[in-house]
Amino acid sequence: MPDVLRIADIDHSAIKSLLAHYGLSMVQVADGETIPGSYWGEEEAGIIGNTVYARSDTPVHSLLHEAGHLIVLPPERRAETHTDATDSIAEEDAVCYLQIMLGGTLPGVGRERVMTDMDAWGYTFRLGSARAWFEQDAENAKHWLIEHGLLTSSGEPV
């Protein structure tokens, strides 16, 4: 199990506030229990409707990624979402970009930590790392998010 930042390591009120900003909620599942709506199983976050499910051992990057899937969906599609939310490669790229940006808004997390944890967990990018992708190859993802009203024109989360 990679050494990544986990939900237990950060302020839950900051996570809940971030999710609430996008009309989402978080349900913390008891340790050892199965996480509802988890695509990857184990300690990975899950999504059902407007809710992100996580345990104390859930990686922060996983919670941000799954929340990102719900954030990029129109509200009417969120209600029918269960476990898998991706429509396209462009949307998946946008979610990866958004999770990095959202990490930068959380105290004690930051963009760098999210990218480091994405690499440790095994995300794969053409340029070899999340940081290289984010800095050199993610313009399409950034523009997708701007076009969908999820980033400002300067690239900050809305």
Return d(Cα 58, Cα 35) in angstroms, integer: 9
Asked whether residue 83 is assigned to any structural domain, the reply reads yes
At 39-98, the pLDDT tens digits run 988 999 999 999 999 999 999 999 999 999 999 998 888 989 999 887 789 999 999 999
Return d(Cα 96, Cα 17) in angstroms, integer: 20
What is the amino acid identity at position 97?
A: Y
pLDDT of 86: 77
**Closest to 131 (Cα-Cα) out of 154, 110, 105, 107:** 110
What is the amino acid identity at position 21?
A: H
Asked whether residue 107 is assigned to any structural domain, the reply reads yes
What is the amino acid identity at position 141?
A: A
Asked whether residue 158 is assigned to any structural domain, the reply reads no
Asked whether residue 157 is assigned to any structural domain, the reply reads no
Which whole-number Å values give the CA distances from 96 to 30, 34, 77, 89, 92, in the listed order?
27, 24, 19, 11, 6
Token pair, residue 109, equals 């997390």
The number of domains in the chain is 1
Task: Please state the pTM of the whole predicted model.
Answer: 0.95
Asked whether residue 6 is assigned to any structural domain, the reply reads yes
In which domain, by residue range, is 78 found?
Answer: 1-152
**Closest to 143 (Cα-Cα) out of 98, 113, 78:** 98
Asked whether residue 7 is assigned to any structural domain, the reply reads yes
pLDDT of 75: 84
